Amino acid sequence: AKAGLLKISVQDIAQTLETTIRGTEATLYREEGDEFPVVVRLREEDRDQMDDVQQVGVTTATGRTIPLKNMLSFQPNEAPVVIERQNQQRILRVFADVEGRDLGSVVPELEQNLSAIQIPSGFSVSIAGDWEEQQKSFTALKQGFILAIILMYMIMASQYESLRDPFYILFAVPLGMIGVIWVFVFTDTTLNVQSFIGIVVLSGIVVNNAIVLVDYINQLRRRYPEKPVSQLILQAATRRFRPILMTTLTTVLAMIPIALGWGEGGELQAPMARVVVGGLIAGTTITLLAIPLIYQACTTPSMKQKAHTEEALTPKPLVGEPVKSS
C-alpha cells in the first residue's frame, strides 16, 4: 500500500533487490574481440546483513529516495532460487549419478524404494534424464529393427520370387542372437543404446552368409534337378564354406580394435562392436549347420507332395489294354 501511494511499482522494487543482491548487467566491455559483462551490484560487505539491504533506497517518480524498510517487511525464509515449470506445472529436479552399476539395474531398485514413500496429494515422482532418453532410444531402435527385418524379407522375396526362401535366410538372425547373449554374459556388456545399435547392424550382416548358401543351393537344384536335395545341400555347404569363413573373418578382425575399446572414446563404441563380433561368430558357425537342416526339412515334404501330385495326374492304363511303349 505504501509503495502504491508513492507510485512505486512492484517491478521497481524487484529490480532494486536484484541489482542489490544478484547484480544487473549494465553494459558489455569489449577488448580485442572479447566481450566482458559489466555487472552492477553492492559490495559483499554492503549486502551481507539484512539491515544493510533494508537501507537500500528506491527512487520514486518525483526523484525522492525511499528505503526499502519503509515499504517492505523482511522475514528470513527458504525458497527456491529458480522455479521451473514443465507443461505448466512446477517441477523440482533431483540429480544423481550412477557409478559402478548399469542404469538398467539401478532404476528398478530406485522405483521400488520410491514406491515405499508416501507422496502427498497433488505431487508425483518420475524418473527422467538419461533413463527417459534411453527408453525413447530403445523404442526407436525396436521400430528400426522390425522395419529392417520386414524390408529384408520384401527385398529377398522379390529377388528370389519366392515367399519361402527368405524365411530360410532370416533364420540366421535369431541364430546370431545366441552370440549376442554370450557377449552379454561373458564380457559384462549391458544392453544400452550402443549395443542395441549393434544388434540392428548385426541383423543386416549375419544374413549375408545365409544368402550365399541358400542362393547356391537353388543354383545347384536348377542345374542338377535329378540329384537328391540332401546331396546338393551338402555340396553347396562344402563349396561355400571358404567364402563364408573369409567374409566373416574380415568383418570380425576389423571390429576387434573397436571391441577392445582402443583409442580415445573407444569404450563408448565397444558394446556395439562386441555385439557384432559375437553375433557374427555364433551366427556363422550355427548357420553352416542349421540353415542346411532347415532347408532340407522344409523342402523334403514339398517335394514328396509334388511327387504324389504328379503320380496322381499320370493316366494309368486300363485292365486288358496294351501299354504303348515309346
Give the domain-ending residue among 44, 70, 96: 70
Question: What pLDDT score does 307 carry?
Answer: 47
Is 209 found in the same domain as 136? yes
Q: What is the CATH number of the domain that holds 250?
A: 1.20.1640.10
| Number of structural domains found in the chain | 2
Is 240 found in the same domain as 138? yes
Q: What is the CATH number of the domain that holds 26?
A: 3.30.2090.10
Alpha helices (H) in 57-192, listed in sequence order: 103-115, 130-160, 165-170, 172-186
Considering the domain boundaries, does residue 38 fall inside one?
Answer: yes
Considering the domain boundaries, does residue 321 fall inside one?
Answer: no
Is 277 found in the same domain as 189? yes
Considering the domain boundaries, does residue 115 fall inside one?
Answer: no
Question: What pLDDT score does 303 carry?
Answer: 53
Question: What pLDDT score does 302 carry?
Answer: 53
Question: What pLDDT score does 1 carry?
Answer: 56
Is 298 found in the same domain as 187? yes
Question: What pLDDT score does 103 carry?
Answer: 79
In whole angstroms, what is the distance from residue 192 CA to residue 198 CA? 10
- Would you give the DSSP letter of residue 254? H
In whole angstroms, what is the distance from residue 95 CA to residue 107 CA? 13
Task: Go through 42-78 and write b for each residue having 16 or more CB atoms within 10 A of its CB, e for each that does not.
Answer: eeeeebeeeeebeebebeeeeeeebebeebeeeeeee
Considering the domain boundaries, does residue 135 fall inside one?
Answer: yes
Is 25 found in the same domain as 149? no
Is 165 found in the same domain as 250? yes
Is 135 found in the same domain as 36? no
Is 289 found in the same domain as 155? yes
pLDDT one-digit tens code per residue, 205-250: 888 888 888 889 889 988 988 888 888 888 988 898 888 889 889 8
Residue 200 domain boundaries: 130-303
Considering the domain boundaries, does residue 112 fall inside one?
Answer: no
Considering the domain boundaries, does residue 319 fall inside one?
Answer: no
Question: What pLDDT score does 316 carry?
Answer: 52
Considering the domain boundaries, does residue 225 fall inside one?
Answer: yes
Under-70 pLDDT residues of the chain = 1-6, 300-326
Considering the domain boundaries, does residue 145 fall inside one?
Answer: yes
Is 147 found in the same domain as 50? no
Is 288 found in the same domain as 195? yes
Question: What pLDDT score does 154 carry?
Answer: 92
